[in-house]
Amino acid sequence: MTIYGQRNNIIVLREIDGKKEHEVIDLTSIKFLDSDYYYLKQNDVVYVSPNSAQIQSSKFNRNATVYVSVASLLLSVLVLVFK
């Protein structure tokens, strides 16, 4: 679990006797410790919903700093060449 996941909205998908079941887990609740889903089993699927910070950051290009650095380098080289 990273800092970008919601700890109160985790979905565990489990197959029991050929039937698929799901449970919404809240890791911030003490009741989670008594849950049947406290221990994961083989082939369980865990989905962690992203928090609002992760959703907002996904709207921006994460490589923007690289592009700005390359453009700055090229501009500096051009200034030195044509000066």
- The DSSP string of 42-66 is TT-EEEEEE-HHHHHHTTS-TTHHH
**pLDDT 10s digits, 29-69:** 999 899 888 999 999 999 998 887 766 666 666 677 888 89
Domain assignments of the chain as residue spans, ordered by start: 5-81
- The answer to pTM > 0.85 is no
d(C-alpha 24, C-alpha 9), whole Å = 6
Q: What is the H or E stretch that residue 72 is in? A: helix 64-81
d(C-alpha 41, C-alpha 79), whole Å = 62
**Matching residue, tokens 């050929």:** 18
**Matching residue, tokens 């700093």:** 65
